[in-house]
Amino acid sequence: MDKSDSRLQPQTTTKAVMDRERPVIALVVPCYNEEEGLQQCCDVLGGVLERMTGEGIASDRSFILLVDDGSRDRTWDVIRALHASRTDVRGISLAHNRGQYNAIFAGLMTVRSMCDAAISIDADLQDSPEAVVEMVRRFREGADIVYGVRASRETDSWFKRNSARAFYRLQRSMGLDIVYDHSEFRLMDRTSLDILAEFGECNLYLRGIMPYIGLRSAIVRYDRSARTTGTTKYSLGKLLSVSIDGITSFTAKPMRLIFMLGLLLLLVDVAVSVWVLVSHFRGYAISGWSSIMLSLWFLGSVVLISLGIIGEYIGKIFVEVKRRPRYNIAESLLD
């Protein structure tokens, strides 16, 4: 290797000129209780990096960054061992479990001055490692952000497939600009990483932030594989929580809908009042237990749902004004 080649010199600042011909690629892998599969994960991703290096589309200084998100098993010990035995593996350990989004964000912010482009990918390898190569090709063609999008959901169960579709439709209906069937598998160049660093909110919803950043984007479609080891960390409740966080982080439309519902109920109340007064003066008004109970239950539900939605926004304001750090890094293996 010719050390005088400026393209192969270490990138020490984010202001350095980006290399699209032979870029340094960082694969950012969030890990939570993934000790069983990390060796296989690094073997597969390391093979992808080696292939791209051999084909001349990535620098031989490309690497894997494993982000331990406060795991309760031996994940960090495995990362240490992999770092000691391999030159392409680096790691950071978060002091506390902060969730997938914060773990990815911590990894991206760690590598943004060390690479030309970063790709976030889960440790379970369900997102196609082969699609990484195609992402890098799109980056070399000029894309700043490349989204990994599932080509099909035919392998999912009926419930998971339809709940996912409902998830995206709900967010679109609430005004979010999101990419259908895209999770956290994406490539970001150094410019987009620098822009992402300017987002100061604590409630990160990366799927919504990416389209908001803008820049030139591309899509790579892939088939999602079955999980090789471990179990999924996303229950139905957690998926619902992600959807609520995404909506309340990017739009106030639910509060507008509450207001419109209030106006609609006001019109209904006026109509009912007219009917009650007419009935009273004509002398055949009879108090109905069923109508009273139905009205009480309906209005009570609307009030509680409305308070819950407003509470979500107030809760986010409460978290944001504290300005607490998104994460704390307990230990780093970056050399």
Pair 142, 68 in one domain: yes
Phi, psi of 48 (to 5 degrees): -65, -45
How far apart, in whole angstroms, are the C-alpha atoms of residue 37 and residue 17? Answer: 36
β-partners of residue 26 are 63, 118
> To which H or E segment does residue 36 belong?
none
| Among the ranges given (18-32, 252-266, 298-312), the one the predictor scored with the smallest mean pLDDT | 252-266
Domain that holds residue 279: 253-322
How long is the chain? 335
Per the domain annotation, does 112 fall within a domain? yes
Pair 270, 304 in one domain: yes
In sign, the C-alpha dihedral spanning 45, 50, 54, 60 is positive
Pair 183, 62 in one domain: yes
Per the domain annotation, does 236 fall within a domain? no
Which pLDDT band, with edges at 50, 70 and 90, does 110 fall under?
very high
HSE-CB of 234 using CA atoms within 13 angstroms: 13
The total of structural domains in the chain comes to: 2
Per the domain annotation, does 243 fall within a domain? no
How far apart, in whole angstroms, are the C-alpha atoms of residue 335 and residue 321? Answer: 36
| Among the ranges given (220-224, 288-292, 307-311), the one the predictor scored with the smallest mean pLDDT | 288-292
Per the domain annotation, does 237 fall within a domain? no
Of 92, 109, 313, the residue nearest 198 (C-alpha): 109
Taking residues 71-88, report their average pLDDT. Answer: 94
How far apart, in whole angstroms, are the C-alpha atoms of residue 256 and residue 269? Answer: 20
For the cut 60, the answer to whether the pLDDT of residue 95 exceeds it is yes
Instruction: Identify whether the C-beta of residue 265 lies closer than 8 Å to the C-beta of residue 317.
Output: no
Of 233, 257, 268, 265, the residue nearest 69 (C-alpha): 233
Instruction: Identify whether the C-beta of residue 148 lies closer than 8 Å to the C-beta of residue 185.
Output: yes
| Among the ranges given (96-100, 129-133, 206-210, 304-308), the one the predictor scored with the smallest mean pLDDT | 304-308
Pair 60, 33 in one domain: yes
Per the domain annotation, does 170 fall within a domain? yes
What type of residue sits at position 202?
Answer: C
Pair 204, 296 in one domain: no
- What CATH number did the domain enclosing 157 receive? 3.90.550.10
Pair 109, 188 in one domain: yes
Specify the pLDDT at position 11.
40
Per the domain annotation, does 247 fall within a domain? no
Pair 302, 329 in one domain: no
Query: Which pair of tokens denotes residue 196?
Result: 């992402």
Exposure b/e, 6-25, CB count within 10 A at least 16 = b? eeeeebeeeeeebbbebbbb
How far apart, in whole angstroms, are the C-alpha atoms of residue 57 and residue 43? Answer: 19
How far apart, in whole angstroms, are the C-alpha atoms of residue 90 and residue 81? Answer: 10
Taking residues 102-125, report their average pLDDT. Answer: 92
Pair 78, 187 in one domain: yes
Token pair 């819950």 in the structure block, residue: 308
Pair 279, 225 in one domain: no
Give, in degrees to the nearest 5, the angle at Cα 287 between 267 and 298: 45
Pair 209, 223 in one domain: yes
For the cut 80, the answer to whether the pLDDT of residue 269 exceeds it is no
Pair 271, 194 in one domain: no
- pTM of the predicted structure, to 2 decimals: 0.70
Per the domain annotation, does 1 fall within a domain? no
Pair 147, 35 in one domain: yes
Which pLDDT band, with edges at 50, 70 and 90, does 183 fall under?
confident
| Among the ranges given (165-179, 217-231, 235-249, 300-314), the one the predictor scored with the smallest mean pLDDT | 235-249
Phi, psi of 219 (to 5 degrees): -125, 135
